Structure 1
Amino acid sequence: MDGDADVARVAALMAEPARAKVLMALADGRALPASLLASEAGVSPQTVSAHLHKLLDGGLVTVERSGRHRYYGLAGPEVAAAVEALARLAKPQPITSLRQSTRAAALREARTCYDHLAGRLGVALLEGLVRRGALIRTDGGQGTERRPTDPLAQQLPDGPYALGPNATEVFAELGVDVTAQPTRRPLLRFCVDWSEQRHHLAGQLGAATTQALLTRNWLHRRPNQRAVDLSDAGRRALAAVL
């Protein structure tokens, strides 16, 4: 029989500053090499290797070999959700440079939460989908407002939305075939966005929509960051669709 969850061990793994930076760097769902993670964490390659070993042993990251290189990624979306939840609870670090200021603002404007869109843009995307009837609220709530009982900054077990009457049409305009999505992962999942405290779209449909926006160059990743940018073409297209 299993005992209680070993929360303290997982919390200790996340509590070390360099490991926390590694997890934040991986929170957009991409797999990154140790050399880049060392740069993100501000430590030597030898030090980040020791940290990655602990994260692997703790089940928070996975590793995949490609040629001579190893690429590390989060063990799953639940790890990203935990990182997002901690980001909501933690006090912001003091900003001491313009670079830090612009990076923090960019994360709040638009970022990836594991493999789906978050920040103001993620919330606006969900609002547009509700407005167009691609999704409908099932609890009588308005727009993307968080319910009083929703836990802060984490994925919801029972998001108050369902596919709407215009789902097939609207998602097709975004480049997503709703009927073609795999069923092993839940089609619809929703998170409470840590910076906006409103809902954004997650799950298989959230991931597929974000990937479609990237494929169409409506959305661009920033190098070595979770922040993403909406292109001019993407801004016009989303305004027209949503």
Structure 2
Amino acid sequence: MSLFKTEYDSQPDDFLEKSMSLVASALSDPSRISILCALMDGRAWTATELSAVAGIAASTTSGHLTRLLSNGLVICLTQGRHRYYSLAGHHIAGLLENLMGVSMHTHASPTPRTPVCLRYARTCYDHLAGELAVKIYDFMLQEKWLEADGTALTTAGKSQFQNVGAVLNPRPRRKACCPCLDWSERRFHLGGDAGSALMMLFLQKEWITRVQGYREVKVTKSGRMAISRLFSLNLS
């Protein structure tokens, strides 16, 4: 008989089930979902900004944020007199993206109802999503920048990232590279540290610009030319 007990063993038998139900309950309100979707653009928002996005009163927003905080879905950062809210991490963004995919699923062939501009290019927390991101991912697989399962950059891929100026973290605290299921395209785009590095490059080069208050991003004229050249795409 083992004399050692894990932390989980010391919890009540239904601890995990209750914890999951609390998180599910926190996600059950449309206003809280609106708040979380706004935070999917990777930026920190004030409660006032979030109340405007969700279309609810400031006092109501405060209650929703407290619920999301208590369940570990968002974090709060204080800077001077201001408080900023953001998603608690990449794992929460992944959870929301997967939830979107499940919510859109039907047994028949789905008819896309996502706005065209959002479906084409948007943020998925700190990396690029949408039709454009899927095409870039397909190119990287075809040109063997990525391993066949998409879980790592190849030596050639790392070299290509360095050549274009995308800075990779040598010791990432999360997955260095991973396929992320795109909920509107139902195919993969690039996630992980590599996906973040690529979107950061696009923003720094002003190849894409954010749309204030939304997840949508716009591809600039110089961006269309550069992205077309780098990834052999026709973006005209």
Calculate the aligned-residue CA RMSD, in Å: 1.9
**Residue number in structure 2 paired with 1:182:** 171
Q: 2: distance between equivalents of 1:46 and 1:78? A: 28
Runs of 4+ aligned structure 1 residues displaced above 4 Å come to none
Distance in structure 2 (CA, Å) of the matches to 1:130 and 1:167: 10
Q: CA offset at residue 61 of structure 1?
A: 0.4
For residues 88-107 of structure 1, the aligned pairs below 5 Å read 88-90=101-103, 104-107=115-118
For structure 2, which runs of at least 5 residues remain unmatched after alignment? 1-9, 106-112, 232-236
Q: How many pairs were matched up? A: 211
TM-score for both structures, normalised by structure 1: 0.81
Q: 1:131, CA displacement in angstroms?
A: 3.0
Shift of 1:119: 0.9
Distance 1:185 1:4 in 2: 24
Match of 2:38 in 1: 25
Q: How far 1:132 sits from its partner (Å)?
A: 3.1
> Which residue number corresponds to residue 217 of structure 1?
206
Residue identity opposite 2:65 in structure 1: L
Q: Compute the displacement of 1:174 (Å).
A: 3.2
Taking a change above 3 Å as real, the CA distance of residues 161 and 183 of structure 1, as seen in their structure-2 partners, is closer
> Whose radius of gyration is greater, 1 or 2?
2
SS at match of 1:32: coil
Per the TM alignment, residue 183 of structure 1 is displaced from its structure 2 partner at its CA by 2.8
C-alpha separation in 1, matches of 2:218 and 2:181: 21
Cα shift at 1:124: 1.1
* 1:206 and 2:195 aligned: yes
Cα 1:181–1:104 change in 2 (3 A) is farther
- Listed as ranges, the matches of 1:1-242 within 5 Å are 1-2=10-11, 3-5=15-17, 6-90=19-103, 104-137=115-148, 159-178=149-168, 180-242=169-231
Contact 1:168 1:177 survives alignment (8 Å): no
Q: Could you give the per-residue CA deviations for residues 82-141 of structure 1, whole angstroms, max 9, x where no partner exists?
A: 21122222259xxxxxxxx8x72222111111111111111111112223332231xxxx
Q: CA deviation at 1:201?
A: 0.8
Q: Give the residue type in structure 2 aligned to 1:39.
A: A
In the TM superposition, residue 160 of structure 1 has moved relative to its aligned partner by 4.0
- Mapped partners of 1:236, 1:9: distance in 2: 48
Instruction: State the TM-score, normalizing by the size of structure 2.
Output: 0.83
* Aligned-residue identity in percent: 36
Distance 1:211 1:132 in 2: 22
Q: Distance in 2 between matches of 1:77 and 1:162?
A: 17
SS in 1 for 2:147: strand
Output the CA distance in 1 between the equivalents of 2:178 and 2:127: 10
Letter in 2 for 1:172: Q
CA distance in 2 between partners of 1:231 and 1:62 (Å)? 32
Distance 1:214 1:181 in 2: 21
**Matched residue of 1:128: which SS?**
helix
